[in-house]
Amino acid sequence: MRVSGSKNAALPALAASLLTADEVILDNVPDIEDVGRFGEILASLGAEVERPERSRFHIRAKNIVNTDAPSDIVATNRASFLVMGPLLARFGEAACAPPGGDVVGLRPVDVHLAGFRALGAEIGRRGDQLVARARELRGARVFLDYPSVLGTQNVMAAAVLARGTTAIINAATEPEVVALADLLNAMGARIYGAGTQTIEIEGVPELHGTRHTIIPDRIETGTWVIAGVITNGEIDVVGCRPTHVAALLAKLTEAGARVEEHDDHIRVISNGALRGISVQALPYPGLATDLQAPIGALLTQARGVSFVHERVFDNRLLYIGELRKMGAEVVSAGSTAVITGPTHLYGTTVRALDIRAGAAVVLAGLAAEGRTEIRDAYHLDRGYEDLERKLRGLGAEAVRHEGQPAPEPVGAG
């Protein structure tokens, strides 16, 4: 199973292209809904966006004609807010609606706004939009109340063109933050310490174009590793970075799966004797919240009682209702799911409630007896490239029934 480029690294990379008038070329970009929509946002701002190959973008943000992100797209894609930092830095003004309601819990943008303010911006409202303005951004010490991933990326992107030095304290340490810093540094920025909780940025007057490869998707990596375990199978996940899923591999090993790590390749071998475990979803390098639902699906097949604590978002256990429809014994109390297993799962009609809740029902469907029908599958298209083709490659029977209307998704992901 070859892993695609990372959704959550591709979106900030697309946003970063707004920081220069030169061409930025991005390779290994996943062909998924959220990326396509982000390309539309860039085009609506006046950037020239070309996709000469499915996985390659050429972006030239030379003639930016406006600094207002289109609200209809923003409402469907939370990452749209990532245009704020680059636009503010380069043009002194940026406007974007606060990203819409969400199914995984409250997702405010106060961390982003406090960071922009610390750099000297004024924040106001215009209609449905938040507007950030600054005649000049000045480097500052910026403390983040929470190590928000998009918040860190937005503030980092704003600070690269600020006058003087910025220190982001309590920064997110996710690999997608490091990947963005690598891209920005290749464009001429001076960012040090990305991947640690303090990031230092020496402002530079301007950035230039570059060519950059998107890192492999660690959540897709984890999803396929779990697919191997839940089907008692043997899967080689290739083109991935095993260190990015170290927490997952440790927990799977604890549960009794056999996992072999190589440079860019993970082999998982399962003998069906899984034990119940306790997991906590935390900021990196803790176990990724985006893998919490897939792990919840897996633990329905483990012997004994498992506890799944969600500690990043406040409402990310809704998928357990879908697992229950398939026969799982799982209850929740607050942000904790208690799963008793192993249970025999039965295929039935379930919903993909968001991208990762969708992955959980796909995984449960692989282990279930009979046919699982997944409604609202458009959520899966937002984050997983070629899902049915890849599932079929592993031996699953997966077909898409067209004709289901795809309502506008709310801003998860």
Reading the block at residue 218, the tokens are 């660690």
> Does an H or E element contain 133, and which?
strand 129-133
Q: What is the DSSP letter of 107?
A: -
3 state DSSP class of 32: coil
Reading the block at residue 68, the tokens are 């207002």
Query: Any contact of residue 383 with ligand EPU (CB under 6 A)?
Result: yes
* Contact map string, positions 39 to 78, toward ligand EPU, x by CB under 6 A: ---------------------------------------x
Cis peptide before 342 (omega within 30 of 0): yes
Q: In the bound complex, what is the minimum distance in angstroms from residue 208's beta carbon to ligand EPU?
A: 25
Q: Which stretch binds ligand EPU (CB under 6 A): 7-15, 207-215, 241-249, 301-309?
A: 7-15
User: Nearer to ligand EPU by C-beta: 99 or 242?
Assistant: 99
Cis peptide before 147 (omega within 30 of 0): no
Q: How many residues bind ligand EPU (CB under 6 A)?
A: 28
Q: Which stretch binds ligand EPU (CB under 6 A): 42-50, 100-108, 118-126, 162-170?
A: 100-108
Q: What is the DSSP letter of 407?
A: P
Q: Looking at 37, 60, 90, 107, which residue binds ligand EPU (CB under 6 A)?
A: 107
Task: Report the site for ligand EPU in 146-165 (rule: CB under 6 A).
Answer: 146, 148-151
Q: In the bound complex, what is the minimum distance in angstroms from residue 179's beta carbon to ligand EPU?
A: 11
User: Nearer to ligand EPU by C-beta: 343 or 385?
Assistant: 385
* Contact map string, positions 110 to 139, toward ligand EPU, x by CB under 6 A: xxx---------------------------
The rounded distance, in Å, linking the Cα atoms of 39 and 33 is: 10
Is the C-alpha dihedral spanning 314, 316, 322, 326 positive or negative? negative
Q: Looking at 38, 313, 319, 384, which residue binds ligand EPU (CB under 6 A)?
A: 313
The rounded distance, in Å, linking the Cα atoms of 211 and 203 is: 21
The rounded distance, in Å, linking the Cα atoms of 297 and 266 is: 20
Reading the block at residue 89, the tokens are 């830095």
Query: Any contact of residue 109 with ligand EPU (CB under 6 A)?
Result: yes
Q: In the bound complex, what is the minimum distance in angstroms from residue 149's beta carbon to ligand EPU?
A: 3
Torsion angles phi and psi, residue 342, rounded to 5: -80, 145
Query: Any contact of residue 379 with ligand EPU (CB under 6 A)?
Result: no
Of 71, 153, 184, which Cα lies nearest the Cα of 411? 71
Chain residues in the site for ligand EPU (CB under 6 A): 7-8, 11, 78-79, 105-112, 146, 148-151, 176, 289-290, 312-313, 355-356, 383, 412-413
